[in-house]
Structure 1
């Protein structure tokens, strides 16, 4: 069982920590997606030099790029919220 924060300062600290944890998790997802984009781009390049076409790879790349943009947007939003929380505490 966890205990409730004893002061507004502790509550603010907990909120900032939670926001930092969320930001770090999204940053890790973003980095994974960036690597997937790079891998898919390399795969498309390799396939384009041969005679084999891979339309499903193009679709996969678009999907991963969409997810990457979404994660980058979330990361920006969380960074802004984190800055606001830090300003409230100080």
Structure 2
């Protein structure tokens, strides 16, 4: 009995354009990421959101996200003015 080799399956064409990781400025942080970044509790981050005192945030559906560039801008504003002390 002779075995017949099955025909090889056609491989899907390789897409030469691979998805690229977002640049650091396009990255979005979750509240958990922000809490880890500042070594603070998640409840503090949510308190900032409700008081409007933390970094600018956006809601995507029910999810809160922070643009990294907004977080960095907020961080820059947090420096104490040494002349005032």
What TM-score comes out, normalization by structure 2 length?
Answer: 0.25
| Structure with higher helix content | 1
Q: Which has the larger radius of gyration?
A: 2
What TM-score comes out, normalization by structure 1 length?
Answer: 0.24
